[in-house]
Structure 1
Amino acid sequence: MADSRTKFYLDRQNRKWKGVCSGIADYTGVEVLWVRIGLILLTLAGGFPWTLIAYMLVAWMAHDKPMGLYETPEDAKFWQGVRSNPKRSTTEVRSKFRELDRRLADIETHYTSRNTQLANEIESLR
C-alpha cells in the first residue's frame, strides 16, 4: 500500500476538468489554485500547444486516485513529504521515535526509582 501512496493520481473529486491540476496539487502539496494559475501562465507565456498536449497525455496515462488513500489530512501531508524528500521524511520519523523512546525512558525511570511520594500515591490508589 505504501508504494501506491507515492504514485501520481488524477484527483477526480477536486477536479475542474480532467483532474490533472488537482492531482499535481495532491502529489506536491501545493495549493491547487496555484497549480492552475501556473498552468494558465505557462500556456499564455508561449507553451500553448505543448502544455495542452502534456495535459491531455497526463489525463490519458494517469490512473484515478483510489478512494480512502489517506486516512487523515496528516497522513496526506506525511506522504506528500515522502514524495518530495524521502530522506527527510525518514529522518523526521526517526526523530519522533527517538523522542517517544526518551519520554518512555523518563517515565520508566520515574516509576522504577525510589520515589517515596510516587509510591505513596500508588498505594493510596489501591
Structure 2
Amino acid sequence: MSKRELYRDTANGKISGVCAGLANYFGIEVWLVRILVISAALLGGSFLVLLAYAAMTLMLEKQPANYVESIKSKQEHKLKSKPWEQGQTPEALLSTLERDFDHLETNVRSMEAYVTSDAFKVNREFKNL
C-alpha cells in the first residue's frame, strides 16, 4: 500500500475537516474520531483539544480531490463498514478477515516462541551489561 499522508478533509468535515482527515488517515469511521475528540474535550482537556484542533487546522493542507478514492481502493476492509458497500459478499469479507487474523496469530506465535527461548534471555543479559 502506498504511503498515506495526513490532510484535512474539508468535503466531509463539519468545521474544518480535521476529524475527517484523521479518520481517513487511520482508516476508521469519522463519527468515532469525533466522539473521541468530544469526549477528550469534555473529560477535562478542552483547552488542549481546542489548541491541537486549531494547530492542525492551520498546519494541515486540504486533501487532493482523488486522495480518498485512492486510499479506499487499496484497503481490503474497513472498520464498521457494511460488506455490500464495498461490493464484497459477506463470505468474501469473512475469508479476508480470517486470513488477516491467521497472519496475526502466526506473528504472535513467533513472538511468543522468541520471548520464551534461551536466545531471548541471552540477548537481554547482553543488553543489560
Scaled by the length of structure 2, what TM-score is found? 0.53
Return the offset for 1:52: 0.2
Greater radius of gyration (CA)? 1
Return the offset for 1:20: 0.3
Question: Which residue does the alignment assign to 1:52?
Answer: 50
Deviations 1:30-71 (A, max 9, x none): 110010011000000010111000000001000111111234
Which residue, 16, 19, 29 being the options, matches 1:18? 16
Looking at structure 2, the residues matched to 72 and 55 of structure 1 have their Cα atoms a distance apart, in angstroms, of 23
| Pair 1:8 & 2:6 matched | yes
List gaps (5 residues or longer) in structure 2.
Answer: 79-99, 101-129
Q: Which amino acid aligns with 1:12?
A: T
Q: Which one scores higher on RCO, CA 8 angstroms, separation ≥ 6?
A: 1
List gaps (5 residues or longer) in structure 1.
Answer: 81-91, 93-126
Looking at structure 2, the residues matched to 25 and 72 of structure 1 have their Cα atoms a distance apart, in angstroms, of 12
RMSD of aligned Cα (Å): 2.3
Question: Which residue does the alignment assign to 2:73?
Answer: 74
Looking at structure 1, the residues matched to 57 and 41 of structure 2 have their Cα atoms a distance apart, in angstroms, of 17
Which residue, 11, 23, 37 being the options, matches 2:35? 37
Scaled by the length of structure 1, what TM-score is found? 0.55
Q: Which amino acid aligns with 1:48?
A: S
C-alpha distance 65-46 of structure 1, shift in aligned 2 (>3 A): same
C-alpha distance 26-72 of structure 1, shift in aligned 2 (>3 A): closer
Return the offset for 1:17: 0.3
Matched positions, count: 77
